[in-house]
Structure 1
Amino acid sequence: MKSFEYQKVLCPADKDIRWRFLGKEFIRPLSLGKRTFLEVKPEGLAMLAREAFRDASFFLSTGHLEQLALILNDPEASANDRFVAMELLKNAAISAGGVFPMCQDTGTALVMAKKGEGVLTGTDDAFWISKGVFEAYTGENLRYSQLAPLSMYGEVNTQNNLPAQIDISSVPGDHYDFLFVAKGGGSANKTFLYNKTAQILAPEELLPFLAKSLGEIGTSACPPYHLAVVVGGMSAEYTLKTLKLASTGYLDSLPDRGNGNGQGFRDKSLETEILEMSRSLGLGAQFGGKYFCHDVRVIRLPRHGASCFIGVGVSCSAHRNILGRICGEGLFLEALDRDPARFFPDPAFEPEEAVSIDLNQSMDAIRACLSKLKVATRVMLNGPLVVARDIAHARLKAMLERGESLPSYFRDHMVYYAGPAKTPAGYASGSFGPTTAGRMDPYVPCFQEQGASLVMLAKGNRSSLVRESCRKHGGFYLGSIGGPAARLGRDCITKVDMIDFKDLGMEAVYRIEVRDFPAFVIVDDKGNDFYESFLVQKG
């Protein structure tokens, strides 16, 4: 019989972190018998969480910004890669002002913590961490996205972005470590769990499978991505937890090989292979090119012999995660970058000229203009459009089912799938980027049959259902850049009026005015689909 030998599955080495000091008024040493403990006042937990989610909403890491700048300096990057990268850098610079969050979907608050057994709080830690989350989301120009179920089919917005997901584990030591993540719905929806068998553990099986998985992720979660792949896991939930940690870079310092006791490790060789695979797709940073991914993390875990879980997921261009620590020296947060503008290229990047589309025309005139353009053409939109997303679409469909006519605004205007963050004082709009188009796909045929939703604006790829409906009814889908919500809200949206379903809050119907709003023709009235052409070619 083999003797007992304990092995941590995930055992990353300490990383060299640049910390921001928050103070030490909430801590003190406490001697009990022969031991000295670290006593932490509950208010310190709230303050740390509040500051963490504020920082993560407005600032990015230096490493992430360096990766965006790399795209601008890469001669192999496509013009569209560079255009998206420049827009994301501009967005980061605006967001760093602390007024407009980088993305309108300010995310679900996730907290993963390791509490040393030598740390004493004397309270329900999750209560005080949640209080800090509450203070961040209600005190800043962030969005409330959490829905509370009242019944199996009825929901209401909690109006404060709670509840948060908080997981705390006990570990040896006298410090308290945190990972705070603001996870938007778009990237969370691109988390996939597959239950495979040992057959997948061969290059000729695993690599084609992962290539297909990249196509399934598509562009709707705002690339360039930080892609994570986890192979193995003692349970489905362990695989997915590891996947989330890997996508934030938390497991970067794992060893590069396993052992006979179940040590998890990074496969850096496979990471390089998958990164090259992602570049060969041609999807690029949303509208064609090389930069579908910034980087890839591949983690191999032990598994039960009867199953082989595989997790695939991404962290999007709003790469919002930040480390925290409470120790004898005080409270600390990972120092994020507060000067993104220094990454702007010199000389300034000048994109190719776009086609201007006047939205003050009739819908027939707008469609006639778009019909002359090829897919992938970049356009600049000027004029009015309406904003409606998931719940508004459901209500509009219910009107049809009751025999009612759709509102005239839905026939007369382009429809933008989006949900804004709060509007800062003195501005026309808050952060107001596009949401994932695919969630609205089932509504398109019935709306277009009624002469509505004939020109749509959102992010990501659409299904064949939308492509065929646009061909049949003369419709169009324009893809907006996923990610630069602060720039769109501050620079491109000049007026916002709520016009219907006011009870839905950020999911209400709005009429907005836009100026030089960038987009690309993705699906046209002939049934051509920019993304489909890439995926068919790569087969």
Structure 2
Amino acid sequence: MEPSFSFQEMFPTGPDTTAYRLLTADHVATAAFEKTPVIKVDRAGVVLLAETAFREVSHLLRPSHLKQTAAILTDPESSANDRYVALEMIKNAVVASGYVFPICQDTGTATVMGKKGQQVWTGFSDEAALSEGIFNAYRKLNLRYSQVAPLTLYDEANTKTNLPAQIDLYAVEGDAYRFLFIAKGGGSANKTFLFQKTKAVLNSEALLAFLKTEIAHLGTAACPPYHLAVVIGGTSAEAVLKTVKLASAGYLDTLPDKGSPSGHAFRDRDLEKELFKISRGLNLGAQFGGKYLCHDVKVIRMPRHGASCPVGMGLSCSADRNLKAKITKEGIFVEQLETDPAQYLPTPQAKESDAVRLDLDRPLSEVRNDLSRLAVGTRLLLNGPVIVARDIAHARVKEMLDAGKPLPSYMTDYMILYAGPAKTPEGYPSGSLGPTTSARMDPYVTAFQPHGGALVTLGKGNRSQAVIDACKTNGGFYLGTIGGVAAILGKECITGIEVIDFPELGMEAVQRVTVKDFPAFLITDDKGNDFFKNLAAG
């Protein structure tokens, strides 16, 4: 029998159980078109919604996310480092909830997904109104401008507004306008992958082996614990990766558990359990060893073209900045995020393990001598001056070196911290300031160390074997600090900051920063030992 037409939506999600709060009942009115009720929305309401959404996600987290983080503190199987990182993350959430220091220094690419019911009428460019709200949030708040505009094929300039945003709008049935707002940091976004596989991967043995390898490759640079999403199948490459993003944001949690011949996405909860177990067995933990690489794993199975089987993987990091919103005839609503994260702190707070205090206000050779006596994995508290520099500044210095010029003295005389701070709030020496992914600077370490530069570096995540070898050859060290706690680091661990080179680069400028009790771990030493390789071997 020939099939008759029956429409099947790709994502048949269940009822929306999100807790919303009313932002305003203004800017919304009802009318009629051809005797059908319609909802009219003023442009000012959409601008206000976008501005509020990015204010909220920059400072607040979901209660469910904080509950998962707090659970690490009471889990007898969590490692001491798991508990240490989790505690600092909750403290960071407390600081950020004051609406002065954002959760993370990388305040992200502003991303909006909207589904506009056909009975909702705006009469203006929705994308322009949403962009204006985003513009207002990033200009008014202590957020960072991370977007760069291409001037030529190779030349770029910071837009100084954090625009453009990624905005995807869809027309759907109904009388509501529903949104998902995401602030997606670069480190988290860079851990999004597409694998073009075939049907050969669609058996339990092959699929589990493949996914175990790729989960291990995620590493810790994107600030775990993660909300990990895996998508198997898909009608196109771009559909797979968009689904990855939605799943990692919890947007597809209410999908059905089984598929059907009509072709729709569903969650495979059995594979979710398998992959969650695998993530815990990798021993990477919440950045420095343990079982909490992931808070949870979501697996979405999608229809596919018979000739291809794309697999997508991505995550939402510990700065889990996602927020739903909606506009209905009753008004404009935003998801209720947690305004009192202090309730998740233990009482009394867990004792922190002993740390070695390291004085940086002396010749770097003396600092290196002290580091050489310590074992990898040693926890440190750093005090004194460091240099903040990252991608573009390192590229500028490399150009100088290639032109036959010596390295600047700041590259040879100081520890180099890979970071790009957010704007500085009034009355404070620094804005939110946390580490960026160290691996992006790996080529510069191998280029600079033979010339006496970058002999001690500080960032997040693992380094390549080339960096480990360079440290062994040149007497270098790499330290790792906690990713995802930029608010508390900026407020409590930075006592002074000044731009010393390339001021035109904005947050990418070279800066001298004075740190106080700045937490770190010795990851790679001058003997070729590496903390993360030890974890993998163990």
Q: TM above 0.5, one fold?
A: yes
Query: Where does 1:96-495 land on structure 2 (aligned, <5 Å)?
Result: 96-495=97-496
Query: Where does 1:56-95 land on structure 2 (aligned, <5 Å)?
Result: 56-95=57-96
Matched, 1:502 2:503: yes
2:52 aligns with 51
d(CA) in 2 for partners of 1:388 and 1:400? 16
- Read off the aligned partner of 1:244 and give its amino acid letter: K
Aligned length: 537
- Read off the aligned partner of 1:340 and give its amino acid letter: P
d(CA) in 2 for partners of 1:431 and 1:182? 15
Aligned-pair identity in percent equals: 56
DSSP-derived class of the 2:152 partner: coil
- Read off the aligned partner of 2:51 and give its amino acid letter: R
1:309-343: CA deviation from partner (whole Å, max 9, x where unpaired): 00011100000010010001100000000000011
1:25 aligns with 26
d(CA) in 2 for partners of 1:446 and 1:146? 27
d(CA) in 1 for partners of 2:80 and 2:448? 35
- Read off the aligned partner of 1:32 and give its amino acid letter: F
1:29-62: CA deviation from partner (whole Å, max 9, x where unpaired): 0122311110001111110000000000000000
Q: How far did residue 349 of structure 1 move?
A: 1.1
Contact 1:523 1:529 in 2 (8 A): yes
- Read off the aligned partner of 1:183 and give its amino acid letter: K
Contact 1:215 1:535 in 2 (8 A): no
DSSP-derived class of the 1:285 partner: coil
d(CA) in 2 for partners of 1:311 and 1:534? 26
Q: How far did residue 534 of structure 1 move?
A: 2.8
d(CA) in 2 for partners of 1:32 and 1:319? 41
DSSP-derived class of the 1:71 partner: helix
Q: How far did residue 533 of structure 1 move?
A: 2.5
Q: How far did residue 536 of structure 1 move?
A: 4.5
d(CA) in 2 for partners of 1:95 and 1:501? 29
- Read off the aligned partner of 2:535 and give its amino acid letter: F
DSSP-derived class of the 1:216 partner: helix
DSSP-derived class of the 1:49 partner: helix
d(CA) in 1 for partners of 2:536 and 2:194? 21
d(CA) in 2 for partners of 1:64 and 1:356? 32
- Read off the aligned partner of 2:30 and give its amino acid letter: P
d(CA) in 1 for partners of 2:499 and 2:449? 23
Q: How far did residue 535 of structure 1 move?
A: 3.2
d(CA) in 1 for partners of 2:532 and 2:42? 53
- Read off the aligned partner of 1:361 and give its amino acid letter: R
Q: How far did residue 9 of structure 1 move?
A: 1.4
1:428-452: CA deviation from partner (whole Å, max 9, x where unpaired): 1100000000000011112001111
- Read off the aligned partner of 1:456 and give its amino acid letter: T
- Read off the aligned partner of 1:35 and give its amino acid letter: T
Q: How far did residue 263 of structure 1 move?
A: 1.6
Q: How far did residue 269 of structure 1 move?
A: 1.0
1:90-143: CA deviation from partner (whole Å, max 9, x where unpaired): 000000000000000000000000000000000110000000000000010000
Contact 1:228 1:314 in 2 (8 A): yes
d(CA) in 1 for partners of 2:405 and 2:169? 51
DSSP-derived class of the 1:245 partner: helix
Q: Which moved more, 1:14-23 or 1:510-519?
A: 14-23
d(CA) in 2 for partners of 1:427 and 1:331? 34
Q: How far did residue 175 of structure 1 move?
A: 0.7
Could you tell me which runs of 5 or more consecutive residues in structure 1 were left unpaired when the two chains were aligned. none
d(CA) in 1 for partners of 2:18 and 2:176? 15
2:17 aligns with 16
1:529 aligns with 530
1:235-290: CA deviation from partner (whole Å, max 9, x where unpaired): 00000011000000000000000000112100111111101100000000000001
d(CA) in 2 for partners of 1:117 and 1:396? 54
Could you tell me which runs of 5 or more consecutive residues in structure 2 were left unpaired when the two chains were aligned. none
d(CA) in 2 for partners of 1:476 and 1:84? 22
d(CA) in 2 for partners of 1:314 and 1:380? 30
Contact 1:80 1:288 in 2 (8 A): yes
- Read off the aligned partner of 2:183 and give its amino acid letter: A
1:140-159: CA deviation from partner (whole Å, max 9, x where unpaired): 00000000000100000000
Contact 1:225 1:315 in 2 (8 A): yes
Contact 1:494 1:514 in 2 (8 A): yes
d(CA) in 2 for partners of 1:490 and 1:71? 25
DSSP-derived class of the 1:170 partner: strand
1:363-406: CA deviation from partner (whole Å, max 9, x where unpaired): 11100110111111100000001010000000000001111111
- Read off the aligned partner of 2:230 and give its amino acid letter: V
DSSP-derived class of the 1:461 partner: coil
DSSP-derived class of the 2:352 partner: coil
- Read off the aligned partner of 2:208 and give its amino acid letter: L
d(CA) in 2 for partners of 1:20 and 1:470? 53
